[in-house]
Structure 1
Amino acid sequence: MSVSQKMPVLEVLQAGPWASLQDAGRFGVRPLGITQGGPADLHAWAWANRLLGNPWNTASVEILLGGLQLEFTGKAWACITGADLGATLDGEPLQLWQPFQLHRGQRLAFATPRQGIRAYLAVAGGFPGLKPVLGSLACVVRERLGGHQGQGQLLQVGDQLPLPGSASSPPARRQHLVVPDYKQTPDLALIPGAQIRHFSGRSLFQAFNTPWQVDQRADRMGVRLTGPRLECQQPKLISEGIALGGVQVPADGQPFVLLNDRQTIGGYPRLGTLTPLACSRLAQCAPGSKVLFRAQGLDQAQREYRSFLQNC
């Protein structure tokens, strides 16, 4: 997107390995074969906006593994949540999970992961003037949809994001905020699905009582987990719709958790579905990390998710 120099902007000086613009996601389009996109860590993304007083669907920058450097040509309030990627402002360390003010000419840099792998940079007022695609700015590279230019591009050197013209102070409220400890082994809440009855008893015991390791094959489409081989006697399946957090088990018995940029249909049997907040926590796990599955009922999962939405 070409932005007039009279408009304050955030300019990319150095592009990280994967930095993209994400709002809440693209919904109502799966019948077209189009996935939702949106923040891999919904929890961190939502709080980045909440701490600035932004509306729910305000776009922010998702930063994977660091390496991103930005310069600001105007004044703005901003907030960084999620992973600790060693963020600095003009070389000085920044406090995460709280708003800070940016001034013209200041440089914001992200180094390498210290805890977690995805950080979120939100600006008070968002990035005005960008055009949604199918109702969303969420960047999905595979589908060439959304993002700052509308065609699914990651942020590159020289790209500019428009900043709001004013820099009003964000609200001071922080109640209900619980900052995650990404170094802890997470218990991932999993809602069992109908196909779970086709897995052997031994496999089910192992699935919920054995740590799983995050594989190198992990991206915004999904995360491969390695551990005991799960056995399923499910007859051949017809492909069906896949929800966020679906835990598919292919023929090799190693589960694959589907995330925001997943395909819209699939034919592998599923243990069930991770809750949105469990998906958020998994999105912060680096390859080699350990995770655990914890069975959770649908009613409890819905109560926890409603509480999260009410507070954000």
Structure 2
Amino acid sequence: MNGFKVLQPGLLTLLQDAGRIGHHRIGLTSGGPLDMLAFKWANRLLGNPVNSTVLEVSIGGLVLEAEVNTLLVLTGAEMPLKINGIEFERWHAHRIKQGDRIELGYASQGARAYLAVSGGFQIEHSFGSTATVTREGIGGLSDGNKLKQGDYLPCNEVTSGQAFRLPELHRPEYTDNISLRVITGYQQHSFSDFDKRMFFSSDYQVTDRADRMGYRLSGPEVKASIDGILSEGICHGAIQIPADGQPIVLLNDRQTIGGYPKIGSMISLDTARMAQLLSGSTLTFEEITIDDAHNLHCLAHVKFERTEPEDVS
């Protein structure tokens, strides 16, 4: 079998494809990469199909030993990449030989990095996806677990293949103080004008209770006129306001239903940016319309498609 042996799994390393779509009706959430843009670039810089399986590395500390010849790329957070003890450029495809040691340091900016190989990791699908959701025990190598020391990551032998580099001009910047765009929903009427002004004009901090299910924030209290609602489906980016008045932004591994009032939903472009924040980072919210959100999504798609990486094959 060809692949990589896991020498050190890092703090939290998960196998992810683009996500498990269409299974909310049976209680399965989507999973998938927290930062979809970095995920898409990881695959594109190797010429992979967009849904190829990669590693999402949170914070860092991953060490692998190659037992295959292939190409490899690392995108996302500023997480040092070393091959056989020598540091190599991120957002740049590199040739890997059998016996090479791949080390990821700890992030100095951002929180999630994406490590891809040519053709993607060859992982069996569960309910149409390889996406790991530890809360549900599904996806990944087995039973939805994060990577462990001694795990083996199978992939195909590649002696030649497409290899690209994304110029620094086009790489995302990860900062600790950002503004995030929100579409208010039908439950906004449960919040007074004062509370909505408070929400959209205040600074909030990321707490240490931030993970793939959601980011719990700390800041001025926001109160709804209702204590709760009948449980209903929850979309990606929904901003729940529980009884303590502290917002929770729900992400990829969220539960599929919930009963807290929601002041609105963050757009997916910005949940990706938020997921690169570490505890203590500051954020603010900006209200936009659904038409604004559609335009931003379309512009981002066009920008991605029209940005041409450099061929380094």
TM interval, shorter chain, is over 0.9
Superposition deviation, residue 306 in structure 1:
3.3
Distance 1:105 1:44 in 2: 27
Within 5 Å, which residues of 2 pair with 1:232-271?
Answer: 232-234=224-226, 236-271=228-263
Distance 2:217 2:240 in 1: 10
Aligned equivalent of 1:83, options 77, 87, 107: 77
Superposition deviation, residue 280 in structure 1:
0.5
What is the total number of aligned residue pairs between the two structures? 304
Distance 1:236 1:294 in 2: 25
2:175 counterpart SS class:
coil
Distance 2:212 2:194 in 1: 31
**Aligned residue for 1:64?**
58
2:187 counterpart SS class:
helix
Contact kept, 8 Å, 1:212 with 1:292, in 2: the verdict is yes
In structure 2, give the amino acid aligned to 1:145. I
Distance 1:161 1:236 in 2: 44
Deviation sequence 1:133-173 (CA, Å, 0-9, x none) = 00000001111111023x10111111111121224332547
Contact kept, 8 Å, 1:23 with 1:59, in 2: the verdict is yes
Task: Decide which moves more: 232-241 or 77-86.
Answer: 232-241
Aligned equivalent of 1:143, options 124, 131, 136: 136
Contact kept, 8 Å, 2:217 with 2:248, in 1: the verdict is yes
Within 5 Å, which residues of 2 pair with 1:284-303?
Answer: 284-303=276-295
Deviation sequence 1:204-258 (CA, Å, 0-9, x none) = 1121111110011011100001100002113641111001110000011100000
Within 5 Å, which residues of 2 pair with 1:111-150?
Answer: 111-128=105-122, 130-149=123-142
**Aligned residue for 1:52?**
46
Aligned equivalent of 2:266, options 265, 274, 282: 274
1:208 counterpart SS class:
helix
**Aligned residue for 1:3?**
none
In structure 2, give the amino acid aligned to 1:85. M
Distance 2:176 2:89 in 1: 20
Deviation sequence 1:51-70 (CA, Å, 0-9, x none) = 11111111100011111100
**Aligned residue for 1:158?**
150
Matched, 1:178 2:181: no
In structure 2, give the amino acid aligned to 1:9. G
TM-score, normalisation: structure 1: 0.92
Within 5 Å, which residues of 2 pair with 1:20-35?
Answer: 20-35=14-29
In structure 2, give the amino acid aligned to 1:263. Q
TM-score, normalisation: structure 2: 0.92
**Shift >6 Å, 4+ stretches:** none
1:93 counterpart SS class:
strand
Distance 1:297 1:100 in 2: 42
Aligned equivalent of 1:106, options 100, 104, 112: 100
1:186 counterpart SS class:
strand
Matched, 1:308 2:289: no
1:77 counterpart SS class:
strand
In structure 1, give the amino acid aligned to 2:192. S
Alignment RMSD? 1.8
Distance 1:211 1:225 in 2: 10
Distance 1:179 1:172 in 2: 13
1:197 counterpart SS class:
helix
**Aligned residue for 1:15?**
9
Superposition deviation, residue 87 in structure 1:
2.1
**Identity over aligned residues, as a percent?**
41
